[in-house]
């Protein structure tokens, strides 16, 4: 666990929340908080855990397609741990994925190459779903909102970045395979590093085997069209729940669909995720909050309510994940020891 990244996230997160309160007016925001219905916050919390559950089910679906099976509760915990690591790294939604593969190998003995293959294919399905609804959000924002030119430019650049990642992942996974020789030559070129870190020198002997296992697993997953369809549907379900959580929080402040159409909330969430897709700050801190508040401010609802909804939503989707996920990451890492046959905790490989 990167302590520096965690401290950075805590400092930045506190600064963002304080800045929002000062900017929007503490007295007005406190007035809205006192009139809030807490029942809706409980429902929003339930939706947050349902969101994590869907993500874990999606990963388990692709992992099963690789020929490995794991318990649902284990995949749920590993997904939560991965999301926590994503939250403290600048590469939002990516920084924790290698950790998931590592913990999966440590806990269940599943090769990290097979774990990463399932994660990469899962990400491709997620990006496909995200790209579909992102295009819809951009079109809606263009025709129905007076979106500032610089924000629209950022949206288009972020969408281009999203498609670039999608094409790159698909290309290296299904079209042009990465060969082991260049990687080994790179390691040999910097042998002064491997001399000081022996594990790197040992690992180069397993690179070819790991890459072969990775591409074999990728081919196995990609051979079933139904696997892709279900994976994309899982992703669409995830984004629907994310938007629904924000809407439920608005209901806590008495804001209904008559005052704020669901499409506006969806646009705010997708656009902020698009702009936040650039790997700049841990968990896109400040970028997501500012973008969502800016879009909500174009409607008739009080800007303080938009700010409070954004803060509460981020507390559930970001800070709660960190508070629960980081200790869980440490727990899984310190209590899991795979046997040499890779059959710990009920893991089995299909023939």
pLDDT tens-digit readout, 289-329: 877 888 888 778 888 888 889 889 988 988 898 889 888 88
Q: Tell me which of 314 and 145 has the higher pLDDT.
A: 314
What are the contacts of 327-336 at 24+ separation with CB within 8 A?
A: 328/77, 328/80, 328/81, 328/84, 329/1, 329/81, 329/84, 329/85, 329/99, 329/103, 330/1, 332/77, 332/78, 332/81, 332/103, 332/106, 332/107, 333/103, 333/106, 336/103, 336/106, 336/107
Decide if pLDDT at 92 tops 70: no
- pLDDT band for 339, please (50, 70, 90 cuts): very low
Q: What is the pTM of this model?
A: 0.76
Question: What average pLDDT does range 114-123 have in this prediction?
Answer: 84
Q: What pLDDT was estimated at residue 199? A: 46
In the chain, the percentage of residues whose pLDDT exceeds 70 is 71
Strands 68-69 and 348-349, by their bridges, are antiparallel
- Can you tell me the mean pLDDT for 142-149? 68
pLDDT at 351 over 80: no
Q: Which residue has the tokens 């397993």?
A: 206
pLDDT of residue 178: 61
Q: What percent of the chain has pLDDT over 90?
A: 13
Rounded Cα–Cα distance for residues 237 and 34 (Å): 33
A 10 A CB-CB count for 141 gives: 22
The predicted structure's pLDDT at residue 164: 83
Distances (CA, A) of 254 to 60, 81, 191, 226, 305: 38, 34, 63, 42, 10
* Residue 67 φ/ψ, nearest 5 degrees: 110, 5
Q: How confident is the model at residue 344 (pLDDT cuts 50, 70, 90)?
A: very low
Residue 247, burial from CB neighbour count under 10 angstroms (0-12, 13-18, 19+)? buried
Using an 8 Å Cβ cutoff, are 83 and 321 in contact?
Answer: yes
Residues 139-149, mean pLDDT to the nearest whole number = 69
- 194-242 pLDDT, tens per residue? 455 454 455 555 666 666 777 777 777 777 778 888 989 999 999 899 9
Query: Of 12-21, 200-209, 248-257, which range is least confident?
Result: 200-209
φ, ψ dihedrals at 68, nearest 5°: -115, 145
> If pLDDT is split at 50, 70 and 90, which confidence band does 49 have?
very high
143: Cβ contacts below 8 Å, ≥ 6 apart: none
The angle at the Cα of 180, spanning 176 to 186, to the nearest 5 degrees, equals 115
Which residue's structure tokens are 């992703």? 235
**283-291, Cβ contacts within 8 angstroms, sequence gap of 24 or more:** 283/9, 283/13, 283/86, 283/87, 283/88, 283/92, 283/318, 284/92, 285/9, 285/12, 285/13, 285/16, 286/12, 286/16, 288/314, 289/16, 289/20, 289/314, 291/151
Q: Is the pLDDT of residue 341 over 50?
A: no
Please check the confidence at residue 248 and state whether its pLDDT lies above 80. yes
């Amino acid at each position: 666990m990167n302590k520096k990244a965690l401290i950075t996230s805590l400092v930045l997160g506190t600064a963002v929340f304080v800045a929002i309160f000062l900017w929007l007016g503490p007295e007005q925001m406190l007035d809205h908080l006192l009139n809030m219905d807490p029942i809706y916050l409980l429902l929003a919390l339930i939706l947050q855990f349902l969101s994590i559950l869907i993500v874990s089910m999606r990963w388990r679906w692709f992992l099963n397609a690789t020929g490995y099976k794991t318990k649902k509760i284990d995949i749920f915990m590993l997904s939560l741990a991965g999301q926590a690591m994503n939250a403290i790294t600048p590469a939002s939604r990516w920084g924790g994925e290698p950790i998931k593969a590592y913990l999966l190998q440590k806990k269940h003995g599943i090769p990290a190459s097979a774990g990463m293959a399932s994660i990469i294919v899962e990400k491709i399905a997620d990006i496909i779903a995200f790209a579909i609804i992102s295009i819809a959000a951009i079109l809606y924002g263009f025709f129905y909102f007076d979106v500032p030119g610089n924000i629209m430019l950022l949206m288009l650049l972020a969408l281009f970045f999203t498609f670039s990642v999608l094409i790159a992942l698909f290309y290296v996974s299904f079209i042009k395979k990465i060969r082991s020789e260049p990687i080994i030559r790179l390691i040999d070129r910097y042998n002064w590093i491997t001399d000081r870190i022996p594990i790197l020198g040992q690992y180069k002997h397993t690179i070819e085997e790991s890459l072969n296992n990775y591409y074999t697993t990728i081919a196995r997953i990609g051979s079933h069209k139904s696997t892709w369809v279900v994976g994309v549907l899982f992703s669409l379900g995830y984004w629907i729940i994310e938007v629904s959580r924000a809407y439920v929080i608005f209901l806590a402040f008495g804001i209904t669909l008559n005052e704020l159409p669901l499409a506006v909330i969806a646009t705010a969430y997708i656009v902020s995720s698009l702009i936040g897709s650039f790997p700049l700050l841990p968990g896109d801190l400040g970028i997501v909050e500012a973008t969502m508040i800016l879009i909500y401010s174009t409607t008739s609802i009080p800007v303080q309510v938009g700010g409070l909804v954004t803060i509460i939503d981020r507390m559930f989707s970001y800070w709660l994940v960190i508070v629960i996920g980081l200790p869980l990451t440490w727990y899984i890492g310190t209590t899991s020891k795979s046997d040499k046959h890779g059959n710990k905790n009920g893991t089995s490989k299909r023939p």
